[in-house]
Chains A and B, each alone.
Chain A
Amino acid sequence: MFKKTPLAAGIAAVATIIFAGGCAVADAGKNGKVDYTAMTPHELAEYLIFEANGGGFNLAQEMQEGGTARDRMKQDELQKACSIIGDGKPDAETLEAVRQAATESIVYPEGGIQLGDWERGRVLAWSGFGYRVGHNYDDHNVREVGGTCYNCHQFATDRVGGNVGPSLTGYGKTRGTSEPILKYVYDMIYNPHTYFPCTHMPRFGSSGFLDKQAIADIMAYMFDPESPVNE
Chain B
Amino acid sequence: MLKKALLAIPVALALGATAHAEKPPEEVLQGLIDSIDSRYLTQSEMNLMMMPDNPALWVGMDGEDLFHTPRGPNNVSMEACDFGKGPGVLEGAYVEMPRYFDDTGKVMDLETRIVHCMTEVQGFAADDPAVRQRHGSGSDHMKIQTYIAMQSNGMEWNNPLDHPLEKAMRDAGQVLFARRAGMSDFNCYACHGQSGKQVRASVLPNANVPEDWTKAISWPAHRVGHDNVRSSQHRVRGCYYQMRQAGMLAGSDASIALISYWTDMARGQPAILPDMKR
Which A residues form the contact surface with B (CB < 8 A)?
33, 36-37, 39, 41-42, 44-45, 48-49, 52-53, 55-59, 61, 65, 69-70, 72-75, 78-80, 82-87, 131-136, 148, 150-152, 160-164, 200, 202-203, 207, 209
Contacts and interface: CB of A to CB of B under 8 A. Distances in A.
A134 B247 contact: yes
Contacts, number: 161
A135 B247 contact: yes
Interface string B164-198: 11011101111111111111111101110100111
A161 B244 contact: no
Interface residues of B, number: 48
A57 B176 CA distance: 13
A85 B253 CA distance: 20
A61 B183 contact: no
Given A58-B249, A83-B178, A151-B200, A39 B185 contact: no
B204 to A, nearest CB: 8
B242 interface: yes
Contacts of B172: 36, 41, 44-45, 48
A86 B202 CA distance: 23
A84 B177 CA distance: 10
B248 A134 contact: yes
Given A57-B247, A164-B199, 7 more contacts: A48-B176, A72-B245, A73-B182, A75-B181, A79-B179, A79-B185, A133-B241
Interface centre among B176, B182, B197, B245 (most CB of A within 10 A): B182
A164 B179 contact: no
A207 B244 CA distance: 12
Given A56-B255, A69-B247, A163-B198, A45 B183 contact: no
A45 B175 contact: yes
B2 interface: no
Interface centre among B168, B179, B191, B246 (most CB of A within 10 A): B246
B252 interface: yes
B6 interface: no
Contacts of B171: 41, 44
A48 B254 contact: yes
Interface centre among B164, B174, B185 (most CB of A within 10 A): B185
A100 B109 CA distance: 43
A179 B201 CA distance: 34
A149 B38 CA distance: 25
A203 B181 CA distance: 12
A42 B179 CA distance: 10
Given A58-B249, A85-B174, A164-B199, A72 B189 contact: no
Given A36-B169, A39-B168, A134-B240, A74 B247 contact: no
A162 B197 contact: yes
B247 A58 contact: yes
13 contacts: A41-B171, A44-B169, A48-B252, A57-B246, A57-B247, A85-B175, A132-B242, A133-B247, A134-B248, A135-B237, A152-B199, A164-B191, A202-B186
For the complex of A and B, the 7 pairs showing the least CB-CB separation, nearest first, are A134-B247, A56-B254, A69-B246, A56-B252, A57-B246, A41-B171, A45-B175
Contact of B180 (A36, A55, A83, A135): A83
